[in-house]
Structure formats: C-alpha cells, structure tokens
Amino acid sequence: MNIKYFTAESREAAEEAAVNYFGREKEDIIFEIVSDDENTRSCQLLAMVGTPQEIANMDAQYGIYYENDGVYLELYKERGAGYTLECDDLMNHLCRKNISDINAPAVQALIGEAAGRSKIANAQNEHIYGESLSIVIAADEQEAEATMLAPEKNGSLLDLDTARSQLNNAGVTHGIDEKALAALIEARDYDQSFIVARATLPVDGEDGKLLFNFSTDERTGSPKEIGRGRVNYRSLDLYVPVEEEQLLVTRVPATVGVPGTSVTGKELKPKTGKEIMLPKGKNVKVNEEKTEMHALCSGMVEFINNSVNVSSVYSIKGDCDISVGDIDFDGSVHISGSVRSGSTIKATGGIVIEGSVEAATIIAGGNVEIKGGVQGADRALIEAGGAVSMLYVEHGTVHADGPVTFDVSLHSVIEAGDNLTAKGRRGAIIGGRAGAAGNIIANYVGAISNTNTEVAVGMMPRKRTRLLFLENEIKMLNNEQLNLDKLDLYLEKSKEQIDPDKWDLLNRSSIENRVHNALNISEYTAEIESLKYELEHATKGKIHVLDTVFSGSRVLIGSDMYAVNDEISYVSFKRNENNVVCEPCEISRQAQ
C-alpha cells in the first residue's frame, strides 16, 4: 500500500494533489482529514491507497521527501494489528541518507507524536545510499564484527577495497580476516554478523620454577617392595644424604611474555610470570644472583613445608627410656632400639626408630619411620611434618602432614595429610578412625565382629583449625598496621615537642614492626592459599578396599557418609555430587 500527507488551501485541492501524486482515481484513494482550518485556509489530508484490510492493519511507516523548500519527514501511525514504529530503523535510515544539517529536535518531536509531517533540513539533493558495513568492536578489542547493510534501490554495491576502507575508518587496523571479509561480501547476507578481525593475543610469561637437584619424591616412608606382593618394613628410604657445598636447588626466573595486538592496533600486555623464591631453610646458602642453593654442611637434606633444610643426624644406641631422658633435637634422630612409655622425642627433621614405640610421644618436623609397631595403651602420640611408616599401631594416635603407611591399625586414630595405605600381610584398619587428605587404600576395613570403624577422606580437622588461626592472625596484623599508621601520624605532628632520642626510638620501633608484620602477612597469606586449595579439592579423595569392608564400618568423604550394613568386597568409594557411592575397585590387587 501507499500513504502520504497532502496539504493545500482546501480539501478539494489536497485531494487533487493526491490524485496527481498517486496517479489513481479519486475513488481508489481513502482520505482522512488531519487538520482543516478556515482561518489559515489550510487543509491537511492523509491519503492512502490499498485494500481495506491492508489499511485496517497497517504497520507504522515513514517517508522522507526532498522538496523545494526543504527535506520533510513523515510518520504514519500503525493501525489495528499493525506493528509500531521501529525507531532504530528510522534513525539508521536517516543516518545513511547523509542529510546535511538535520534538525534533530524536530525529528525527536515527530517521533514523540508518532505521526505527522515535519521539516527536518533545508533543501538539498537526495543521497542514494548503497551497501555498507556496520562494524562493532568488542569491548576488549579482541574481535571485530561486521554486518552488511542493504542498499536503497539503485544504490551501489560494496566491493572488497571499499570494505577494507570502512574497516579502517572504524578503527579496525589489525588482524583482518581477508577470507571472512570476502565471503561476507560474496554472500550479501544482509543483517547477519560475521567476525572479520581478530586480535593477536599476548603470550603470557611463564612462572618461575625450581629444579631440585635431589630427589623430593618417593621419600614418603613407603616400604620397599621385594617381589610377589611382599614388602620390607625394615628398609625405608626417608632422607637423602648430602655433602658440603652440594648444589641443592636451581631457580629458573619467570619470563615477561610476548605482547599482543588488538584489532585497533593497541598493544595487549601479557601477564608477567609469577616469580618464585628459593625455599631457603637451615644450613643452606644462596648465591648473589639468588638462582642457586648449596648445602653448608654434610648430612641429610629434607624438603618439608616449602623449606629445604640440611641437618645432621642425632643417633641413640639402644632404647630411649628414663635413663636417656626426653630428646629435643634440631635435626634428625636415629634410635637403634625402642622408645619406652613416658618418653618424648622431638626433632625438627626426621625420626627413625629401629624398634617399637610404647605409650610415648614422637614429634618430628619431617618423616617418622618406626620399623616395629606402636603399642600405645591410648597414650601414644605420633606427629610428623612428613610421612609416617610403621608395622602396626594399636590404641595410638598418629598425625602426619604426609602419607601414612602400616600393615595393621587397631582401635587407633590416624590422620594423613596425603594418602593412607594399609598394606602388607594383612593390610587392615580395625576399629577407631583413619582419615586422609588424599586416598585410603586397604585390604580390610572393619572386622567380621562388626567392630565400629570409620574411614574418611578430605581435609583434616587440624588443618581447618590452622586455616582459621591464620585468617585471624592476618586480621590482627592488619589492625596493628593501622595502629602503626596512627603512630606515624602522631610522630610526624609532634616531632618538635618530643625528646629527639625518644622520637628516634619510637620511629625505629615503628619501622621494624612494619617490616616484621609485612613478612608475617606474606608468609601467612601463602600458607592460607595452600590450605584453601586443599580445602577446595577435599572431596576428590577415594577409598579403595582390595578385599572386604565389614558391616559396622562408616565411610566419609567430605561431609557425606556411607554406612556399611553388609560385607562388601573389592570396592572403591568416591563422592558423586552430594552422595558417597561404591563401585568396583579402581585399582588391582597386584598393584599392592
């Protein structure tokens, strides 16, 4: 259908103008009076050519007319079920028409009325626009999309050179995909977006890394296998001997990366690799470039809690009893006999006990190897910053930051910061509680007598306690830093009123406390990040039973529990969503 406003001195004149414009008989045109003012001798009609159904449900339309006295915009309101005016389409059309000195307020006023005729510019020649590209650059400037816009009738077609020029004018100067641009022009699929340019992404720098020149794996207290499924619990390689001046660790510095380029030609900065520091500890030295660490003395080397320590070994021949007294040694301890009830053995390094342990306390910063067993009488305590290995444990408590290995556990409490493995002739966990941050592997869990036995994987309770402690310490240190800020402000304002010696003393104290607090905050923050990572992965551990788990046993993974009511053989327990499920065992008996 066709539609247009006509204004003349009378209705007859306006109708005659419509007849001449449409080239139709007057009876074929439907007229509606918009305004008829005798005083101004002006009549405006809306003339429409179309079927009654078309007119009754007409979509909102617009028209632009280039006349002798100016450029006019006409808006025609929708009727019936017709669609309302798409203002974005109108504005895009006006923009592409390149109308000079357009009267934007007049356009907005007309849009507000939704119908009518208004002069929007002075007289000028009409511009017939051709095909063009609408170009959108992503906010991060990593991509640019182009949409081909349809031309007016008799408008020019877009070629590849013009398309390149339009991209350049829009600011897209890098990463243009010539094939995609050519395909867009060839397809002429109007109003469809295509990615026509992509940034050259930066290459992030690599994090610094440490190269250990001594073995840091397989030093977990695991017994050596001697074939046919048998293990030798009296042969355990817990530490590495070193010589004075031996190279221990090499540090490879981080790299800065390679910059990229956005589609607008801007530099995209890479992420610089995170630097890593040498894990300095006791009895080691670092070169001036801080790229190498050497041993200061001969002895043994251990990598515990992100610290490399070289220490000598304190050897005790025979048993540790009241005649020997308690031991608290900065290094490692080797006891050729047993540790009797009431004794306490502490070492910053590892502890090796050739015999057994009674109701005694064993605390080590490194690994603990007990070649016999533990008969704890509910009073034995074993704590290790590394691995713990023993033949058996009965009525004892074991806490290890590393893996724990034994043949049999009877009514004991065991916590392993890594894997917990019950293997050997029996490989059984009977009664008590056994927990691990990693996996648990055992031949038997529980007993045929339905002994209450609990096995759990996930983050150990004392590590959760440590995390809360560190977070509180960080808050306290931050508050102390605020107090130091207040002290510095006070010192600055009162420098002339306070005794100079007292002022210097307070100022030095403030500086020293700041340095000390900053160091603690850095160390605590690193430990918090490590503990939080462990907490996030606390539900990924599994429990593998190579023979039988008996009724009366409970299996916990994170906060979810599986109660064993009937004997189950050769099974693996793992967490599936919010439940603990059992499936056929994932590891073979031969692997043990």
CB 520 within 8 A of CB 553: no
Among 27-31, 62-66, 458-462, the least confident range: 458-462
Distance CA(579)–CA(116), nearest Å, equals 68
Which pLDDT belongs to residue 535? Answer: 67
Distance CA(427)–CA(231), nearest Å, equals 11
The two tokens of residue 581 are 């499920």
Residues paired with 36 in a beta bridge: 43
Chain length of the chain: 592
Farthest CA pair distance, the chain? 131
Distance CA(410)–CA(176), nearest Å, equals 71
- Reply yes or no on whether the pLDDT at 53 is more than 70: yes
The two tokens of residue 501 are 């010696």
Which pLDDT belongs to residue 264? Answer: 95
Gyration radius of the chain over CA positions: 42
- The closest of 115, 67, 75, 79 to 93, measured between CA atoms, is 75
Other residues' Cβ atoms within 10 Å of the Cβ of residue 54: 14
Distance CA(186)–CA(165), nearest Å, equals 17
Which pLDDT belongs to residue 240? Answer: 72
Other residues' Cβ atoms within 10 Å of the Cβ of residue 405: 27
- Buried b / exposed e over 323-337, threshold 16 CB at 10 Å, is ebeebebebbbbbeb
User: What's the rounded mean pLDDT across residues 330-359?
Assistant: 92
pLDDT band, residue 236 (cuts 50/70/90): very low
User: What's the rounded mean pLDDT across residues 520-530?
Assistant: 90
The two tokens of residue 460 are 């150990």
Which pLDDT belongs to residue 499? Answer: 86
Give the residue, 407 or 503, on which the prediction is more confident. 407
- Reply yes or no on whether the pLDDT at 233 is more than 50: no
Distance CA(437)–CA(537), nearest Å, equals 9
Distance CA(514)–CA(382), nearest Å, equals 38
Backbone angles phi, psi at 56, to 5 degrees: -65, -30
pLDDT band, residue 467 (cuts 50/70/90): confident
Domain segments of the chain as ranges: 2-121, 132-198, 463-536
Average confidence score pLDDT of the chain? 89
Burial class (CB in 10 A: 0-12, 13-18, 19+), 227: exposed
Query: How does pLDDT run across 165-219, given as a tens digit for each residue?
Result: 999 999 999 999 999 999 999 888 898 889 999 999 999 999 999 999 988 765 4
3-class secondary-structure state, position 337: coil
- Reply yes or no on whether the pLDDT at 234 is more than 50: no
Distance CA(220)–CA(240), nearest Å, equals 12
Among 89-98, 239-248, 284-293, 414-423, the least confident range: 239-248
Helices and strands in the chain: count of H runs, count of E runs = 8, 43
The two tokens of residue 293 are 């660490």
The two tokens of residue 513 are 């406390």
Distance CA(405)–CA(142), nearest Å, equals 53
CB 400 within 8 A of CB 386: yes
Query: How does pLDDT run across 56-109, given as a tens digit for each residue?
Result: 999 999 999 999 999 999 999 999 999 999 998 899 899 999 999 999 999 999
Q: Please give the sequence-ordered ranges of beta strands (E in DSSP) within 385-460, or none if there are none.
A: 388-390, 392-400, 404-406, 408-416, 420-422, 428-436, 440-445, 453-457
CA dihedral 459, 462, 463, 467 (to 10 degrees): 130
Query: Does the predicted TM-score (pTM) go above 0.85?
Result: no
- Reply yes or no on whether the pLDDT at 332 is more than 90: no
pLDDT band, residue 232 (cuts 50/70/90): very low
The number of angstroms, rounded, from the C-alpha of 464 to the middle of its chain's C-alpha atoms is 22
Q: At what angle do helices 104-113 and 87-96 cross, to 10 degrees?
A: 150
Among 177-181, 330-334, 384-388, the least confident range: 330-334
Distance CA(478)–CA(488), nearest Å, equals 15
Looking at the chain, the whole-number percentage of residues with pLDDT higher than 90 is: 66
CB 358 within 8 A of CB 378: no
Residues paired with 357 in a beta bridge: 339, 374
Which pLDDT belongs to residue 222? Answer: 47
The number of angstroms, rounded, from the C-alpha of 585 to the middle of its chain's C-alpha atoms is 32
User: What's the rounded mean pLDDT across residues 11-25?
Assistant: 93
Which pLDDT belongs to residue 591? Answer: 55
- The closest of 284, 365, 283 to 332, measured between CA atoms, is 365
Distance CA(445)–CA(430), nearest Å, equals 6
User: What's the rounded mean pLDDT across residues 427-439?
Assistant: 94
Which ranges constitute the DSSP H helices of 114-255? Answer: 160-169, 178-187
- The closest of 431, 429, 450 to 546, measured between CA atoms, is 429
| Type of residue found at 87 | C
Which pLDDT belongs to residue 331? Answer: 77
Which pLDDT belongs to residue 235? Answer: 35
What's the Cα-to-Cα distance from 341 to each of 316, 352, 356, rounded to whole Å?
A: 17, 17, 11
- Reply yes or no on whether the pLDDT at 221 is more than 50: no
- The closest of 57, 53, 49, 4 to 25, measured between CA atoms, is 49
